[in-house]
Amino acid sequence: MTGRFLVIGLARAGTAMAVALAKSGASVHVVDQKAADQLSMLHEMDRLEALGIEVSTSWSGEVDWSLVDVVAPSPGVPLRHPTLTEAQEKGIPIWSEIEVAYRLSKAPIIAITGTNGKSTVTALAWFILRECGENAVLCGHLAGSGYPETPLTTAALKSTRDQILVAEVSSYQLEFIEKFRPHVCTITNIGEDHIDRHGSVDAYAKTKLRIYENQTGEDFVIVNQSRPETLAPNIRAQIFTYGGSNSDFDVAQINESELSSPGRHNVDNAAAAWLIARTMGCDDDQVAKAIRNFRGLKNRMEYLGEHNGLRFVNNSMCTNPEALRASIESCSGPIVLISGGVLGNLDPAPITGIDFARVRASFLIGLDTARLAQFFPPDAVVSGSLAQAFQLAVDAAQPGDTLLLAPGCKSFDQYQDFIERGDSFRALVNAYIGKTT
């Protein structure tokens, strides 16, 4: 690839993008507002500079536009960053990570997005394809999933025509696309999320729907008919459906008891992955067998074990109220629930759809417990920390119950991210059960 690229962000995605661009023949300058005062950052700078990539830290935002053909921001760069605004005003192209990857890739790309469930569908589709003998590569950033993953730009640069790149795609990455064209794609669902980034649910949904815009009649879209918000007008790709009475795939073929985690939403996840595999030529019997062998992801309805008749499930990735509702629905038997964290701009209304008759006791943690408590039963207990809530939950539980961490909120009040929150819960459970990690 030729041209002069300004890559913004010296983190995982930005570094991978810079390396892939440089190795493809582009001239690359990486900038980051952070100072180079961490060993990890210094290591990355050395690696990039060894490839002839210019690196500028403590960047003030100034750009010599005469030296820039394309701006390539990391997904974490704010949508309204002044440099992006200036580039748009000057008519300079802005390419997201997935746009760069598409232009580099020799392999077809399967792209999965959605508010909830996209990590599970991505990993499951990759797993099925591998089990069916396909040379599939798991791409993106499935943080804390426990599965191997490769940055999409890295996989794209190394790709061959016999491979299939299976990637989780975020709304942040869909903001700046021009030609990005997945061969197969699906949107699991669209709920309320990332409002601070996009400004409204409608803007967020429109960004998600951009995943279809460059597909042709040679491509495929997998649609859940019970999720009409995931459909867009004028889709040109071939559409395969599930979740409706006249769908192309009958979800009754999926035995919920054989899934790594139960629940209607996981049946939907499995159906989406099944149809993705079918479009790539996989045999239905092989697909069914692969689904039975799939072990699930960390921090996504992760079964941690059982002790004294009490089951422990970690769903730290549950970061919005709609995911909380789905978490409750997926558990059988009485539930002892730990929820809470940073609700932010998210609408707590989906919590009103929870059948709290199935919840024996609720324990709330984190910054927005006062707001959350209005939507929980009056006997919900506000706890100061996850450790305190866990002990109270264990004391309240009875044999046959499921002790479930399903925050329904972001984690940034008490933890660095949902992974650290999940690790903390896992450590509490292991200590209680007597397991060693």
* Domain 4-94 grouped into CATH 3.40.50.720: yes
Percent of the chain scored above 70 by pLDDT?
98
For residues 334 and 357, give the distance between their C-alpha atoms in angstroms, rounded to a whole number: 9
For residues 185 and 190, give the distance between their C-alpha atoms in angstroms, rounded to a whole number: 14
Q: What's the pLDDT score for residue 205?
A: 93
Annotate 172-227 with DSSP letters as a single string. Answer: HHHTT-SS---SEEEE----S--HHHHSSHHHHHHHHHGGGTT--TTSEEEEETT-
For residues 38 and 403, give the distance between their C-alpha atoms in angstroms, rounded to a whole number: 39
Q: What's the pLDDT score for residue 331?
A: 85
Domain with CATH 3.90.190.20 in the chain: 302-433
Give the pair of three-digit tokens for residue 4. 């002069």
Q: What's the pLDDT score for residue 144?
A: 62
Give the pair of three-digit tokens for residue 35. 């100072």
DSSP, collapsed to helix, strand or coil, labels residue 205 as helix
Give the pair of three-digit tokens for residue 255. 């035995």
For residues 80 and 87, give the distance between their C-alpha atoms in angstroms, rounded to a whole number: 11
Burial class of residue 333, CB neighbours in 10 A (0-12, 13-18, 19+)? exposed
The residues of the chain scoring below 50 in pLDDT are: none
The fold of the 302-433 domain, in CATH, is: Protein-Tyrosine Phosphatase; Chain A (3.90.190)
Q: What's the pLDDT score for residue 299?
A: 87
Q: What's the pLDDT score for residue 416?
A: 87
For residues 351 and 259, give the distance between their C-alpha atoms in angstroms, rounded to a whole number: 25
Domain with CATH 3.40.1190.10 in the chain: 99-293
Q: What is the CATH number of domain 99-293?
A: 3.40.1190.10
Domain with CATH 3.40.50.720 in the chain: 4-94
Quick check: 408 and 366 in contact, CB under 8 A?
no
Quick check: 7 and 26 in contact, CB under 8 A?
no
Q: What's the pLDDT score for residue 143?
A: 62
Annotate 301-321 with DSSP letters as a single string. Answer: SEEEEEETTEEEEE-TT--SH
Measured over all CA atoms, what is the biggest interatomic distance in the chain, rounded to whole angstroms? 69
Write down the pTM of the prediction. 0.84
Residue range 341-366, pLDDT digits in tens: 999 888 898 999 999 999 999 999 99
In 238-361, which residue ranges form alpha helices assigned H by DSSP? 264-279, 284-293, 321-330
